Each structure stands twice: as structure tokens, then as C-alpha cells.
Homo-oligomer: A and B are copies of this chain.
Amino acid sequence: MTSSYSSALLDRAVNEFAKLPGIGRKTALRLVLHLLKLDEGMVDQFAQSITTLRHDVKHCQVCHNISDDDICAICANPQRDGSIVCVVENFQDVLAIEATTQYHGLYHVLGGVISPMDGISPSALEIDSLVERVSQGNVSEVILALSSTMEGDTTNFYIYRKLQAFDHLNVTMLARGISINDELQYTDEVTLGRSIVNRVPFNIS
């Protein structure tokens, strides 16, 4: 037999599923056998949703978020505050911040962080378009909201330097410290150390 299963078609579908991140061959087989039991129409619908997405999805021309139109729903919403731009790494970060319902400004999705190890240089990211966006004069605050990793910090700093040229622009970053509900004794020492150095006036909120 050339394939591991009795069917080469099955083998091919399982191989395709097993290429997805976090999906092993056993899970892939389980998913494929599930699809085999469905009506042809439902399977076609499943497959079509993927190809349509890949072929038709766009990136917002303003913030580079995933969008169905040239301008995404957030950028097109007149109720959002266009003077604040939150810089994030990717689409999932937009979801995470939107889920808090605490932010009403716009976004700028970089598409990654600077990482010489992975060959990601600043020019591969949407940094120039951010500078261009700020230079149009309507933005009064840029929030740097990248991950608290070495690459994230490097990217934050790179963008900060690029934005220094703009007078009257407020560049801020997310507050760092002990997580809500975290116990002090289990907090890592770097976070704990920083939150002592960067302590803030006591307030009840």
C-alpha cells in the first residue's frame, strides 16, 4: 500500500489537516471522519468558507486589520475616537483589547514585531504607514501595546524614536505590573521589581 490508510483520498485529507498548528494525525483523522459523516452540502460549505476567506479577505487600508471592505468596521465607525491610535502586533490583539470594552480609539496593526532572528526587519511591518498616518495631523496620542518581550520592547523603542519628530504627540504604553488577582509571592521578580519602582498613588477603582 502506498498510503497509511485504506484510502488515498482519506490519507490526503488527513495529511492536510495534520499540517494545521496543534493538530496531530490522530486528531486530523477524527476531524476528517467527522466530515465524512456530514451531508455533501455541509462539507462543501465548510471548504468554501475557507477558500472564500483566503481569496476575498482584505486588510483595512487605514489600520491594516483584517476586513471585508477597504476600510474596516472600526475605522469606519464615526463613534470611535480618531485622535487615539493603539499600535498592536496582530489581529488577535485587536480582539483582546476590543473584548475589554475599555478602548474607543482606533488601531494600527503592525503585522508582527521586529525580530532579526526571524528575519523580520522594520520595513516588513506597517511602521512607515503608521508614521504617515500620524503625519496627517489628526492623531494626538499613540498607545504602544506590543507584547512585553525583547522583540516587543525593541519594536516599541524603534517606533518611539520614529514618532519623536512629532511635537504635541503623546506616546504612551500599556501599564505594566502585577496582574489583577495575582498573589504577590507567585509574581516573577522582574515584574514585582518594576511595579515597586513604578509605583503609583493609591486610588480606589
Contact of A73 among B1, B17, B55 (CB under 8 A): B1
Taking CB as reference atom, which chain B residue is nearest A4? B95
A30 near B22: Cβ-Cβ < 8 Å: yes
Interface string of A74-110 (1 = CB under 8 A from B): 1000000000000000011011000000000000000
Q: Interface residues of A: mostly helix, strand, loop or mixed?
A: helix
Residues of B within 8 A of A17 (CB): 46
Chain B CB within 8 A of A6 CB = yes
Chain B CB within 8 A of A134 CB = no
Chain B CB within 8 A of A123 CB = no
Alpha-carbon gap, A38 to B57, bound state (A): 13
A9 near B56: Cβ-Cβ < 8 Å: yes
Binds B, one of A64-72, A145-153, A177-185, A192-200: A64-72
Chain B CB within 8 A of A53 CB = yes
Contact of A68 among B9, B19, B36 (CB under 8 A): B9
A12 near B74: Cβ-Cβ < 8 Å: no
Residues of B within 8 A of A10 (CB): 53, 57, 66
Say whether, besides A13-B50, A22-B30, A74 and B35 are in contact (CB < 8 Å): no
B16 near A20: Cβ-Cβ < 8 Å: no
Please tell me how many copies of the chain the complex holds: 2
Distance (whole angstroms) from the CB of A52 to the closest CB of chain B: 6
Which residues of A19-64 have CB atoms within 8 Å of chain B's CB atoms?
Answer: 19-23, 27, 29-36, 38, 40, 43-57, 60
Chain B CB within 8 A of A7 CB = yes
A92 near B36: Cβ-Cβ < 8 Å: no
Residues of B within 8 A of A166 (CB): none
Chain B CB within 8 A of A5 CB = yes
Alpha-carbon gap, A31 to B95, bound state (A): 16
Give A residues with C-beta under 8 Å from B.
1, 5-10, 12-13, 15-17, 19-23, 27, 29-36, 38, 40, 43-57, 60, 65-68, 72-74, 91-92, 94-95
Top 3 closest A-B pairs, CB basis? Answer: A47-B47, A43-B54, A13-B53
